[in-house]
Structure 1
Amino acid sequence: MIATLAVAITFCSGLAPFGNQPSFWRVLVEGIIYYIGVAVVEEVYLRGLLQNLLENCFENSKNAALYAILITSFLFGFGHIFG
C-alpha cells in the first residue's frame, strides 16, 4: 500500500508541480520518491511475499527455501536486464 502510494505520488509530481520542465528540485523529489518506492516494491513483493509463497509451494521438498530464492532471484535479475 505504501509503495503504491509512493509510486502514485511520483507520477503526479512529474506531471503537476514542476510543469514538466526539468529542474533540480524535480529530479531530487522524483528521484527520492521513485527509488524508495521501487526498492520497497521489489523487496516486499519479490523477496517477501513471492518468496514465501514459493517456499510454501515447495514445502514437501527438502530444498524449498533454495528453490524459492533461486526463482525470485531469477525474476529480480530478469526485471533488470533491460534497464
Structure 2
Amino acid sequence: MRSEREVNLAIDKYVNLITRICFLFLKNEADTQDVLPSVFLKYLKHDKPFESEEHEKARFIRVSINACKDILKKFFPLAYRIFR
C-alpha cells in the first residue's frame, strides 16, 4: 500500500489528465467525478513500483479508461456491446 504522501503527489500530478480522459468517455461531469476516487484507490492499493514515470502515467490512463468503460457497461450494456 502506498503512503499518503505518494497518493497526494499522484493526485496533484494526474487529476487533470484523468478528469479530461473520463469526461471524453462519459460526457458527464458527475460521472467523471465519481470515477476519480476509484482510480486513485486502485493506485493506493497497487504496491509494486513502476519502471518509470511514463509507466506510471500509462497505468493511470489505462485504469481511467477501464473505469469509464465499466460505468458505460453498467448503464448501457446493449449499446456498449454493439458499439465497442
| TM-score above 0.5, yes or no | no
CA radius of gyration, larger in = 1
Q: Higher RCO, 1 or 2 (CA under 8 Å, sep at least 6)?
A: 2
More helix by share: 2
**TM-score, length-normalised on structure 1?**
0.38
**TM-score, length-normalised on structure 2?**
0.38
